[in-house]
Amino acid sequence: MNNLDDILAMAQNVQNELQKAQASLDTIEVEGVSGGGLVKVKASAKGRIIGIAIDDSLMQLSEKGMLEDLLTAAFNDARTKADAVSGAEMSKMTNGLPLPPGFKLPF
């Protein structure tokens, strides 16, 4: 990197790679689970909810409160897993870039 053109070319390359990585995150699926598998939420690594599966045993009016709690827990589990996969994918992309410690992408 001897001149400004080299730096700008590198920045453009990083931006293109970031866009590709962000697009690929929507194709990676994670599954959040709660209640020992009674409730499952499938999401993309980008955080888009793909589907929900609820065990038939929870389909009773008296179980409404528990079902709501289990759905919340499953959504949070899926979000945590999506964040982990997203972070891992982004770190693969930024591996080897001369970024300062603690610097996070995307900008």
- Supply the pLDDT for residue 104: 58
How does DSSP assign 49-82, residue by residue? EEEEEE-GGG-SGGGHHHHHHHHHHHHHHHHHHH
Q: How many CB atoms are located within 10 Å of the residue 93 CB?
A: 16
- List average pLDDT for each run of 10 residues in the chain, which is 107 residues long: 75 80 84 92 87 90 90 91 85 67 56
User: ∠ at Cα 17 (81, 10), nearest 5°?
Assistant: 135
Encoding tokens for residue 34?
């709660």
Which amino acid type is present at position 68? E
Domain topology for 4-94: Ybab; Chain: A; (3.30.1310)
In the chain, domain spans: 4-94
- Supply the pLDDT for residue 107: 46
